[in-house]
Structure 1
Amino acid sequence: MTRVNQLPCDCVSTTEESLTSGTCITPTHVTSLSSPLDRSGDVDPLPVSDESGGSKADESMTDADETKKRKRILSGDCEADENNKSDGEIASLNDGVDAFTAICEDLNCSLCNQLLDRPVTILCGHNFCLKCFDKWIDQGNQICATCRSTIPDKMAANPRVNSSLVSVIRYVKVAKTAGVGTANFFPFTSNQDGPENAFRTKRAKIGEENAARIYVTVQFDHFGPIPAEHDPVRNQGVLVGESWENRVECRQWGVHLPHVSCIAGQEDYGAQSVVISGGYKDDEDHGEWFLYTGRSRGRHFANEDQEFEDLNEALRVSCEMGYPVRVVRSYKDRYSAYAPKEGVRYDGVYRIEKCWRKARFPDSFKVCRYLFVRCDNEPAPWNSDESGDRPRPLPNIPELETASDLFERKESPSWDFDEAEGRWRWMKPPPANHEQRERMKMAMTCLLLFVLIILVGSSSILYQY
Structure 2
Amino acid sequence: MAHVSQLPCNGDGTCMICKKNPSPDDTFTCRTCATPWHVTCLSSSSCPQTLADALLWDCPDCSLADHPHLPLPPSIAGKIGGSDKLVVAIRAIESDDSLNELEKARRRQELVSGGGARLSDDDGENVKNKEGINGDNDVLAILDGNINCSICMQLPERPVTTPCGHNFCLKCFQKWVAQGKRTCANCRNQIPSTVASQPRINSALVIAIRMAKMEKSNITGGAPKVYHFVHNQNRPDKAYTTERAKKPGKANACSGKIFVTVPPDHFGPILAENDPQRKQGVLVGETWQDRMECRQWGAHLPHVAGIAGQSKYGAQSVALSGGYIDDEDHGEWFLYTGSGGRDLSGNKRTNKAQSFDQKFEKLNEALRLSCRKGYPVRVVRSHKEKRSSYAPEAGVRYDGVYRIEKCWRKNGIQGYKVCRYLFVRCDNDPAPWTSDIHGDQPRPLPAIKELKNAIDITERKGSPSWDYDEVEGCWMWKNPPPCSRKQMNDGNIVSGKKRRRAKRTLSAREKLLKEFSCQICRDVMTSPLTTPCAHNFCKACLEGAFAGQSFTRQRTCEGRRTLRAQKNIMKCPSCSNDLAEFLQNPQVNRELMTVIESLQHRNVGEEQSDESSKEVDSRHEETDAAADDIEMSSANNHNNLKSGMEVKPQRTDKFKSASARNGNSSCQARPLLEPPDVEQGTKGGSVKPENRGQQTSAAERKLKQTKKRKKSSNATSNVGVTTRSKRAKLTTR
TM-score by length of 1: 0.50
Q: Greater Rg, structure 1 or structure 2?
A: 2
Q: Which has the higher helix share?
A: 2
Q: Which has the higher strand share?
A: 1
